Each structure stands twice: as structure tokens, then as C-alpha cells.
Structure 1
Amino acid sequence: MKKFITTIKNIFSIEELRGRIITTMLLLVIFRLGSYIVLPGLDTKQLAGGVSGGFFDMLNTFLGGAFSRASIFALGIMPYISASIVIQLLTVAVPYFQRMQKEGESGRKKINQITRVLTILITFVQASAYIAGTIPPEAIMIDRSFFIISSMIILTSGTIFCMWLGEKITDKGIGNGISMLIMIGIVSRFPGALIAEAVSRGSSLLLLFLLELIALFFVVMGVILLTQAVRKVPVQYAKQVAGAKNAPSKKPVVGQRSYLPLKINSAGVMPIIFAQSLMFIPSLVASAFQDTNDTANYIATTFADFTSWQYNLSFAILIILFTFFYTAITVNPKQIAEDMKRNGGFVPGVKPGEPTAEYIDNIVDRITFPAALFIAIVAIMPAFASMAGVSQEFSQFYGGTSLLIMVGVILDTLQQIESYLLMKHYEGLMQTGSVKGRQNVVVA
């Protein structure tokens, strides 16, 4: 405990780090306050129970309840994430975007500008769908046409403001701003879910509640292992000999050995997000025919229940498929092999160039399959927790996208804080002076 208090003192003794932390906290407070400002012209009493369903519940969790409150931040940063995913896919498939990506800083600025414009267009579409699909007509207290137009403008402005907040956190604060906004929305719902679960258990079932917390601890530890796990591929670099002073030496030239860290989970949370966005389609389509068709009624009922085995089996299969897909578009073995060859590096026992690319590709395939299985298990863990008697709101923290995002953002933020401590010659957050899982170059 004494070491922890000393570390906190060291963190706030660094002026730049202290300023970044305070800036981050202030911007996050602004984001949270905005999530409670309701769209003008609405009767909040008529909004209760306005949104429900797996996909809507996921959005509401990411946005800290702003989605269900019809807040000015009801769409939050999600349109920007959708636009970023579209642009990322275009950089793989469209040569024009590939050329921009290779242009360096100027290319990245162009891509960011296109992403912002696409975000505005997506926000307008999602804003109209949000108003039409989630806000009941009886909740609108003003002229409906005026309300729709004004709300679309306000929701779009709210998303642009959230995007600005995320960029400011990244530039002036600590951590990745966009991820931080999503994480704070998820974390904001955790205390209420925890208290509600404790109250529902009562003193007579206190032991059961403690067992739930222990199970949650081990689930979090497993997700941390998945997030930080890497497969280290040894890479040998020829030692650079400069000048003539080394020429008379008869000693053999010793190469420098380092490691190429290939993350076990290169896809991150994207497979779960993609799969989750598709899982509401069967029940949505079937609900249109359930009054006249028994099969459609069965599909609508089954896929509306996130604890059914049909839902979870389909969800797990989609996650596995999307894990391989997203890993394939984010990890480019040929590019890695070309960069290694250009820098004079090679994998011991493997020829540079195409053989190295095939070697790395085989490793990526072997580590992706267990990662995909683990991600699928993590994604369906909330269903098992709910079936075990945990409340639906608290069970969301036993896995799924929420837990993966929280763990990833917190670890990334801790690593950034630790880098400041080490630069100022303070002891790091861990006994070893480095957060577990950080990649250190090993020189032979």
C-alpha cells in the first residue's frame, strides 16, 4: 500500500502528466454531463422503456445510458467508429486509399478529413433512424416536423462535439480519446449494476454475491491475458559497421537479435462488434412475419433471447469468422517481410522475402484460431452468467465487448502513465518497472 501511495505521489509530481490527467478528467466530466441533456421538445416521462433488444442494449451500454435518455449525445462516438471501420476496409480494397495511406502524414490527414465527412453523413442517417425508431410519438411536445429537423442537427452536432472531445483527450490528455469515451460510458453503469446486484442478493445470499465477484475477477484476469498475450518471432539484424576503425578487427560480426511481437488477439473487439451488429437481423426480419408464420415466430423469439443456445452458437460462429477476417485485413505478412528485408533483418532459418511472409502467415493462422475461440467464449460469458442467476445488467460485465474495451483502454492508459514515470526516472507501476505484456527488445 505504501508503494502504491508513493507511485500516486510521483504521478502528480510530474507537471506535464498531472496536467494531462486533469485535462482528461475535465473532458470526461463534460462528456458525462452532456449525456444527461435531453433533446429539446421531449417529455422525458414518455421515454421509459423506449429502447430494448440486444443491439440497442449494447449501444446504450457503450453510451452510458445516453441512448435510452434521448440525450444530445444519444449517438455519441458510434458514427465516427462506423466511418473509421468503413475507411479502414476501403484502405484494404481500394487502391486510391492505399496510396493515401502510404503518403505518410499528408495521406493520414486526407484520410482523417474523409473520415470526418463520412461521419457527418452517417450521423444524419442514424439520427433519422434513431428518431423514427426509438422516440415514441406521444413523447414529442412540439411540432413533429420541426422536432425531427432540429433533433437531427443537434444529434449530428453532438457526435461532432464528442469526436472533438476524443481528439482533445488524445492530444492534450492521457490515453486514446475515442476509446476513453466508450470506456467511461461502460464504467459509469458498473457501480449501479454492482449495487443493484448486491441489494438483490441481500444479507442471506452474501456468500453467493462474493462468489460472483470472485468469478468476475478470474474472468477479468483471463481477458487481460488474452489482451496482452503475444507470440514472439525471433528476428536477426546484421550489425552495422561504420568507418574503418573496425576493419582491422578479426572478431566475428555479432548480429543484433530482437523479437517481432505478433499479438494473439490482433482483431481486438472488432469481431464482437461486427457479429453483434448482425445478430439483431434474424429477429428483426422474422418479426415482420411472425403473425402469419410459426417458423418466423420461433426465429423471432429465439434470437430475441440472448441466453438461447441458438443465439449463442450463431454468435460464436460469427465471431470466429470475423476474427479471421479482421486479422487478415489488419496483419499483412508480406508488408512485414518486406520491411524486415529492407532493414536487413531476417528470421533465423528462414529465407528473406516470400518464405518469411509465408512463415509469418502460418504463425498468424495458428495463433488466430485459439484467440478466436477465446473471444467467442468471452462474448457468450454474459449469457452463462445470466443463466446462473446474475442480473442481466450486471452479467454484461462478465464478458463481451464491454469487458474487452475496459481492459484494453485501462491497460493502454497505464502504459502511457508508466512511460512518463520511467522518463522522469521514477519507479513504474509494477515491481519490475514495466506493465506486464509490454514488448522489450532483447539484444543477444
Structure 2
Amino acid sequence: MWETIRRAFKLKELRQRIYFTLFLFILFRLGTYIPVVGIDRAQISNLLSQGGFLALMDLFSGGGYTNFSIFALSVFPYINASIILQLLSYVIPSLEALVREGGEEGQRKMAQYTRYLTVALAALQAFSVIVIFRNYLVNQSILLKLVIMASLIAGSYLVLWLGEIMTDRGIGNGVSLIIFAGIISRIPVSFVEIGQKLSAQAVSFASVIGEFLAFVVLLVLVIFAYQSERRIPVQYAKRIVGRKVYGGQTTYIPLRLVQAGVLPIIFAVSFMAFPATIGQFFPNSWFTKHIAQPIFGTPTSISYNLIYFFLIVGFTFFYTEMTYDPIKLADDLKKYGGFIPGIRPGEPTAQYIASVLRKITLPTSIFLGLVAVIPNLVFRKMTITSFVFGGTSLLIIIGVALETMREVEAYLLMRQYEGFLK
């Protein structure tokens, strides 16, 4: 890894992309400290210290709710908009045709629809934030509430713009990197809190060491899962073109165990926060008292983690199906004279690849789900109660870091090809 980083900084264009990404990180962090007017942030900070789904959202926004900044909503309206449109593309034929057959123009249209829906969801979420924190406003005037809503909506769209610019001109997926930056920024705060507990003798040093060792073991297992792959052997038949013989070599198709990357985790978190947000509109309703608050508003409850587990499994399968096309891969193999030993080319090859993909996705999705929920369930017995050291944060940090490193390596391979004249 260190060798890859050293080579990356030697290449001017890649070095500029890395510096640009770091610059956008700084802008994002500065934005989390620009406060929205008209609200008592000290009381909000005390409320968030009690835990719950708002504390989890504060983690992913990089402290945006603690400071009640213009970036408090972060990228979650955009993520929810992406989920809704991608699910609708399987229901509405025109959207499905736009995704599958629209090409570059279709992608541009879908991106445009996603932005429109992001603004609408940001307005809905900003209104819910005002409802949640209505008792902490300096006054109850409509003008102040409109100013707060406008600030939060503009901040959410600005974060989306930073993510898109980061994807185009930086390194990695901008939206994932913004969530990554938010989690990483809270690690020093968590260490300070642990140090304060040790100083006050609220926790024992041995328990903290034991939990850190468990965290390291979990870290190694997650890295192993993200880096592992299932290799399908491929044989290329010999072809004679003129006086030359092509093919005849044996290679393999690498199928990563975590094919969908970190997006299923991020989408599952966003989906779990949505009912609790809606419940704030109707604080005295049956939905809020029996579903939104006890189930979706308590990240350490069994019901919350059970639903969260199945969402991770479902989204992992969903995104694996979206990002990997066995039919296209089988057609490409057939076109270039490749075949899997013992499997006929064409449709049987596509079915075989799809079968292997499903077999490796099922245990991997279950593993990711368990990593995400088990730390949440034992939080009540842990001395380190920060969400930073939870399974969800761990999965996002490792997933985004590894995907970014793969993109850097691919960029190096593409830019440092020396050709035959060297």
C-alpha cells in the first residue's frame, strides 16, 4: 500500500487529483462548523450525547448536528433519492429503458432526476429537523423556520455538488468519501471521550484494551472479506491468423466476495433513518410510539438490528445484480474465443457465472450484516460506547479506503504503461 501511495505522488496528474480531493475534504470540514442561525446548539449537543438515531446521523455528517451546521443533512437526501429512483427503475418501464438503453444521455437524465428528488427530500428532511428541534429555537417565527430550512437545503445541495466534483476531478466516489471523512473526523473526539472516562475511572483500562483488541480482530476479518476473491478459470482456444498463433493461454475471472462495495451499507443506514425521521412529523401518533421510536429510533434494540441485518443482505444482492452482468461477460468470452472448462459458451456460461456469484454473495452478505449489527447489540455492555467503533463505521471506513486504493492502482496502471519503445 505504501509503495502505491509513493508511486501515486510521483505522477503529476494523480498527485493533483489527490490534493484536490484533500482540498474538498477541508471545505467539507469547514462547512460542518458554519452554524445555522436561531437555535441553541448547546442543548442539541446534550441531546445527541444521549445516543439514538440522531447520534448515528451526527456521526455520518461529521458532527453536523452537534454544531447544527449548514451541512447537517450531509449526503443522505441524495442517497435516499438514489435508492428511490433505482427501485423505481425496476417498476417503471420508461426509467428501466433509460438506465439500460439510454447510454451516456440516459445516465445524464437519471442524474438530473436524482438532483431534483434530492432537493425535494432535503426540504422534507429539513422540515423534520425543525420539528425535532422546535423546542430549541430562539423563537417560533415562520421567518426563522424558513431561514433554517433554506440553509439546510442549500447546504445539502452544496455537499452533493462537492461529492460530484470530487468524483469527476478527484479520486474515488465523492459521496462515499464525504461519509468516510465525516466518520474519520469523529475518531479523535472518541479517543478524547475514552481518555476522560479513564481519567475519571468510569471504565477500567483492561476493558478498554480488550475491546480494542476485539476491534482489531474484526478489522482484520473485514479486510480479508473485502480483499478475497473467487477465481473462475478461463481457457482461450488457439487461433491461427496468417502465420501467427493467438490464444491457447489459461487465465481466470476474479469475482470479489464483496462485489457491491460499501454502497449497500450506506444505503441500509439511510433507509433505517427514514422511518424515524418521518415519525418526528407526528410525535403523538401510533406509528411514532410503536414503530418509529422503539424500532427505528433505537440503534441498540434487537428489532432495529434485525431489520438492519436483512437490509444489508438484500442491498448487497441488489447491488451485485446491478454492478455485474454475467450475460455481457459470457458474450465477451465467446467473442474472443474464451470458455470455462466444462461449461458450454453462451447462455450456459452466463448461468454458471451467475450461480457462482450468488453462492459467494450469500455468505458474504450475511458476514457483513453480522459485522454491522453485533457491535450495536453489545454497545450496552461495552465501555467504549461511541458509534465510531461500531460495525457500520468499520465497514464504511475499510470499504471506502480499499475502493479508493484500487482506483489509485488502476490509474497508475493506465498512466504508467511504457509501451514497446522503453
Question: 1:47·1:136 contact (CA, 8 Å) conserved in 2?
Answer: no
**1:413 pairs with 2:404:** yes
Cα distance change, pair 286–272 in 1 and its aligned pair in 2 (3 A): farther
| Secondary structure, aligned partner of 2:102 | coil
The amino acid across from 2:339 in the alignment is F
Q: Considering only aligned residues, what root-mean-square deviation do their CA atoms show, in Å?
A: 3.5
Corresponding residue number in structure 2 for 1:42? 39
**1:217 pairs with 2:216:** yes
Per mean C-alpha deviation after superposition, the further-off stretch among 273-282 and 106-115 is: 273-282
Corresponding residue number in structure 1 for 2:420? none
The amino acid across from 1:356 in the alignment is T
Within-5 A mapping of 1:80-119? 80-101=78-99, 102-119=101-118
| Secondary structure, aligned partner of 2:343 | coil
| Secondary structure, aligned partner of 2:373 | helix
Corresponding residue number in structure 2 for 1:245? 243
Question: 2:228·2:257 contact (CA, 8 Å) conserved in 1?
Answer: yes
**1:71 pairs with 2:73:** no
Q: Write the distance in 2 (CA, Å) between the matches of 1:342 and 1:94.
A: 33
Q: Residue deviations 1:15-73, cap 9 Å, x none?
A: 32332222222211111111111112333334334556643333211101103432111
Q: Write the distance in 2 (CA, Å) between the matches of 1:288 and 1:271.
A: 31
Per mean C-alpha deviation after superposition, the further-off stretch among 407-416 and 186-195 is: 407-416
The amino acid across from 2:344 in the alignment is K
The amino acid across from 1:357 in the alignment is A
Pick the structure with greater CA Rg.
1
**1:180 pairs with 2:170:** no
Please, which of 350, 357, 374 is the counterpart of residue 357 of structure 1? 350
The amino acid across from 2:102 in the alignment is E
Cα distance change, pair 358–286 in 1 and its aligned pair in 2 (3 A): farther
Within-5 A mapping of 1:32-431? 32-50=29-47, 54-101=52-99, 102-133=101-132, 135-141=133-139, 144-202=141-199, 205-238=204-237, 241-242=240-241, 244-246=242-244, 254-273=247-266, 275-276=268-269, 277-278=271-272, 281=275, 288-289=285-286, 305-393=298-386, 396-400=388-392, 402-419=393-410
| Secondary structure, aligned partner of 2:254 | strand
Cα distance change, pair 10–36 in 1 and its aligned pair in 2 (3 A): same
The amino acid across from 2:394 in the alignment is L
Q: Write the distance in 1 (CA, Å) between the matches of 2:212 and 2:273.
A: 29
Identity of aligned residues (%): 38
- Paired residue total: 409
Q: Write the distance in 2 (CA, Å) between the matches of 1:279 and 1:73.
A: 17
State the 1:371 CA deviation. 0.9
Cα distance change, pair 266–245 in 1 and its aligned pair in 2 (3 A): closer
| Secondary structure, aligned partner of 1:409 | helix
The amino acid across from 2:225 in the alignment is L
Q: Write the distance in 1 (CA, Å) between the matches of 2:316 and 2:415.
A: 39
| Secondary structure, aligned partner of 2:233 | strand
Corresponding residue number in structure 2 for 1:20? 17
Per mean C-alpha deviation after superposition, the further-off stretch among 54-63 and 403-412 is: 54-63
Q: Residue deviations 1:316-339, cap 9 Å, x none?
A: 344334444444454443444344
The amino acid across from 1:58 in the alignment is L
TM-score (norm 2): 0.83
The amino acid across from 1:136 in the alignment is R
Cα distance change, pair 346–421 in 1 and its aligned pair in 2 (3 A): closer
| Secondary structure, aligned partner of 1:392 | coil
Gaps of 5+ in 2: 418-422
Cα distance change, pair 169–56 in 1 and its aligned pair in 2 (3 A): same
Cα distance change, pair 68–281 in 1 and its aligned pair in 2 (3 A): same
Q: Write the distance in 1 (CA, Å) between the matches of 2:308 and 2:166.
A: 34
Q: Residue deviations 1:140-178, cap 9 Å, x none?
A: 34x621122222222222122112211222222222221
State the 1:181 CA deviation. 0.7
Question: 1:46·1:136 contact (CA, 8 Å) conserved in 2?
Answer: no
| Secondary structure, aligned partner of 1:48 | helix
Cα distance change, pair 304–125 in 1 and its aligned pair in 2 (3 A): closer
Q: Write the distance in 2 (CA, Å) between the matches of 1:374 and 1:287.
A: 38
Q: Write the distance in 2 (CA, Å) between the matches of 1:290 and 1:79.
A: 22
The amino acid across from 2:354 in the alignment is D
TM-score (norm 1): 0.79
Q: Residue deviations 1:267-297, cap 9 Å, x none?
A: 4445445554348859969984599x9xx59
Q: Write the distance in 2 (CA, Å) between the matches of 1:272 and 1:145.
A: 37
Corresponding residue number in structure 2 for 1:437? none
Q: Write the distance in 2 (CA, Å) between the matches of 1:137 and 1:310.
A: 29
Q: Write the distance in 2 (CA, Å) between the matches of 1:89 and 1:319.
A: 15
Cα distance change, pair 255–13 in 1 and its aligned pair in 2 (3 A): closer
The amino acid across from 1:62 in the alignment is F
Question: 2:79·2:267 contact (CA, 8 Å) conserved in 1?
Answer: no
Q: Residue deviations 1:94-117, cap 9 Å, x none?
A: 332333333332222222222222
